[in-house]
């Protein structure tokens, strides 16, 4: 049986958590930009 | 369920339910002040910007199934299960160019069913309408059931009460605010979900480091790390196509394409795909970490929330409760609004109120939201079937719509007969595969049959569609 290597598992999980955290910040930045530019709605 | 087996006390559960219920309703009423006109109520004034456009796509696609089924996928199919679930983000990525095309081609459009009717005619309209309504109700039922099951598992709130409360809250704020309320609450809900899931994942890593989780899986469940796991690899393609089919055909996504300002749709859907991508990865990790933490799994579909609550105690229970409530609300509200639009604009207006003005249609849409909510409640109440069964039954049906929609938007030679045949044959053969082979092949086969049918019928009998037909204002079906 060929197994996924541990490094792949590590990259997958840490990458996922990092991307999720960055995404939250990105949404806030977009919100500030749209509110400032009066382009929210 | 006895209270000592839950992670939150019943009183905390009721308190959270009341707090968030009141908050969503209050916000719905606040944003609903904008939703006076029909365009405001159904497509949020067609001027939604990038921040809200992106967040609403993310929040809507993070369903309770993401938080409940992704860990279950991981626990049953291993790393391939996580990868399979995350491929659902491709639906958002691939819908991006379609959103741009839809907004340009149908500047006055309201629904995906309207597109099929104008593009392919009445027969295709009828088939597509059945698939759309079946899928919409299936999705809502699966989430209503999930809500009831989760509130019962986490806080001991009786299933019928929890399910009813979630549906009631969503119906009320969608009723007041239409798509404005849906999109506004989606932004807050997406942020809460992202923050919540990151906190839970980091907390689990402190208790179960990745090296330990990997070693445990290697020793006790090596199949979950198997690179060559045939059923799981099939699930990747099936889930990918199921996700694409869900997004391409559903009015939930079309109504957002209509609602976003010109030039916003493509960017919003691309960013939404990127933001959504890590959610099932992180949620799936909860499932894989469960054996290392030593949790006794009696119900695979609640493994994720139970792992989080086990690690973080009462605070984890509260966090999971809030995240799940947001996941449910952000999708149920969207489905209520989108399904109501379809029923109002594509069934009631043409067949029963052909001369009604926008104010009357706006009122009818409100009544339809209540009716759809009641129907969903009635189906959810008996608590029939497992979550996965309910969800994947719709897979081949929506998969069969992918190619009629792509061809309909970009290939003027695609014709109505081909679209009808593609949807019927794709759905029928996909459902046969579902029962004869397995759920993980149904969307794959349904989509493949649909693709071949569209290509062959178009080449044999090419049409010559006039794109200007789609841009017509206030087009209604001829009863």
Question: Is B169's pLDDT higher than 70?
Answer: yes
B202/A17 CB distance under 8 A: yes
> Higher confidence at residue B394 or residue B299?
B394
Q: Tell which phi-psi region holds residue B276, choosing left (phi > 0), alpha (psi between -120 and 50) or beta.
A: alpha
Per residue in B338-361, pLDDT (tens digit) is 999 999 999 999 999 999 999 999
The alpha-carbon gap from B57 to the nearest alpha carbon of chain A, in Å, equals 12
Using alpha carbons, select from B390, B474, B355 the residue that is nearest to residue B149: B390
For residues B155 and B9, is the Cβ–Cβ distance under 8 A?
Answer: yes
Render the burial of B238-251: b for 16+ CB within 10 Å, e for the rest: bbbbbbbbbbbbbb
Closest residue of chain B to A33, computed from CA coordinates: B51
Name the pLDDT band for B2 (thresholds 50, 70, 90). very low
Q: Name the pLDDT band for B387 (thresholds 50, 70, 90).
A: low
CA distance B377 to B204: 35
Residue B244 and residue B94 in contact, taking contact as beta carbons nearer than 8 Å: yes
Mean pLDDT of B108-128: 97
Angle A30-A36-A38 from CA coordinates, rounded to 5°: 95
How confident is the model over B283-300, as pLDDT tens digits?
A: 899 889 988 888 877 777
- Decide if A26 touches B, using CB distance below 8 A: yes
* Average pLDDT, rounded, for chain B: 90
The separation between the first and the last C-alpha atoms of chain B, rounded to the nearest angstrom, is 51
- The answer, as to whether pTM is greater than 0.80, is yes
The answer to whether B243 and B91 are in contact (CB under 8 A) is yes
CB of B204 within 8 Å of any CB in chain A? no
State how far residue A29 is from chain B, nearest Cα, in angstroms.
Answer: 8
CA distance B312 to B308: 6
CB proximity B36 to A under 8 Å? no
Domains and CATH numbers, chain B: 10-384 (1.20.1730.10)
B84 touches chain A (CB under 8 A): no
For residue B4, what pLDDT is reported? 52
With beta carbons under 8 A apart, name residues in chain A contacting B226. Answer: 1-4
Substitution target in B222, B282, B308, B326 with the highest count of A β-carbons within 10 Å is B282
Q: Which residues of A touch B187 (CB under 8 A)?
A: 27, 31
Across B105-120, average pLDDT: 96
**What average pLDDT does the segment B39-68 reach?**
91
Contacts with A19 from chain B: Cβ below 8 Å: 274, 277-278
Does any CB of chain B come closer than 8 Å to the CB of residue A7? no
pLDDT of residue B1 exceeding 50:
no
CA distance B49 to B470: 24
State mean pLDDT over B161-177.
94
Cβ of B218 within 8 Å of Cβ of A3? The answer is: yes
pLDDT band at B26 (very low <50, low <70, confident <90, very high): very high
| Mean pLDDT of the region B298-311 | 76
Q: Cβ separation of A3 and B190 shorter than 8 Å?
A: no
pLDDT beneath 70: ranges in chain A: none
Q: Does residue B479 carry a pLDDT above 60? A: no
Ranges B148-162, B255-269, B308-322, B426-440: which has the least confidence: B308-322
Which of A15, A17, A32, A35 is the mutation pick for testing B, counting most B CBs within 10 A? Answer: A17
């Amino acid at each position: 049986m060929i197994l996924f290597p541990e490094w792949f598992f590590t990259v997958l999980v840490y990458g996922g958590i990092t991307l999720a955290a960055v995404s939250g910040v990105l949404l806030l930045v977009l919100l500030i930009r749209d509110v400032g530019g009066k382009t929210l709605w | 369920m006895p209270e000592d087996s839950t992670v939150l006390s019943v009183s905390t559960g009721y308190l959270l339910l009341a707090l968030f219920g009141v908050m969503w309703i209050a916000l719905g009423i606040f944003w609903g002040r904008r939703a006076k006109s029909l365009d405001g109520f159904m497509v949020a004034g067609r001027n939604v910007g990038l921040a809200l456009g992106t967040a609403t796509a993310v929040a809507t696609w993070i369903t309770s199934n993401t938080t409940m089924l992704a860990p279950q996928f991981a626990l049953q199919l291993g790393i391939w299960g996580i990868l399979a679930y995350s491929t659902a983000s491709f639906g958002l990525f691939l819908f991006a160019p379609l959103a741009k095309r839809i907004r340009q081609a149908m500047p006055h459009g309201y629904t995906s069913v309207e597109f099929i009717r104008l593009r392919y005619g009445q027969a295709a309209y009828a088939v597509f309408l059945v698939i759309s309504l079946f899928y919409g109700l299936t999705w809502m039922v699966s989430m209503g059931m999930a809500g009831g099951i989760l509130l019962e598992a986490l806080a001991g709130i009786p299933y019928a009460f929890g399910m009813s409360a979630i549906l009631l809250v969503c119906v009320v704020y969608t009723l007041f605010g239409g798509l404005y309320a849906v999109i506004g609450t989606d932004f807050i809900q997406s942020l809460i979900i992202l923050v919540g899931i990151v906190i839970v994942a980091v907390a689990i890593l402190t208790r179960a480091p990745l090296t330990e989780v990997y070693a445990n899986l290697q020793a006790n469940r090596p199949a979950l790390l198997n690179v060559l796991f045939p059923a799981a690899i099939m699930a990747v393609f099936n889930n990918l196509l199921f996700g694409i089919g869900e997004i391409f055909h559903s009015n939930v996504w079309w109504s957002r394409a209509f609602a976003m300002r010109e030039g916003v749709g493509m960017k919003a859907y691309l960013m939404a795909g990127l933001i959504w991508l890590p959610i099932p990865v992180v949620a799936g990790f909860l499932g894989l970490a469960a054996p290392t933490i030593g949790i006794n799994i009696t119900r695979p579909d609640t493994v994720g929330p139970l792992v989080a609550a086990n690690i973080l105690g009462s605070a984890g229970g509260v966090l999971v409760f809030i995240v799940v409530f947001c996941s449910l609300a952000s999708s149920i509200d969207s489905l209520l609004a989108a399904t109501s639009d379809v029923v109002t604009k594509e069934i009631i207006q043409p067949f029963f109120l052909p001369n009604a003005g926008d104010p009357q249609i706006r009122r009818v849409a409100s009544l339809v939201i209540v009716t759809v909510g009641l129907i969903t409640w009635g189906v959810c109440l008996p608590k029939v079937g497992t979550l996965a069964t309910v969800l994947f039954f719709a897979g081949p049906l929506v998969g069969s719509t992918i190619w009629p929609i792509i061809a309909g938007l970009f290939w003027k030679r695609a014709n109505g007969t081909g679209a009808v045949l593609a949807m019927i044959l794709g759905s029928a053969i996909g459902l046969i595969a579902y029962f004869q082979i397995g759920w993980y092949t149904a969307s794959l086969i349904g989509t493949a049959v649909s693709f071949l049918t569209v290509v062959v019928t178009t080449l044999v009998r090419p049409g010559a569609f006039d794109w200007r037909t789609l841009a017509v204002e206030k087009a209604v079906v001829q009863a």
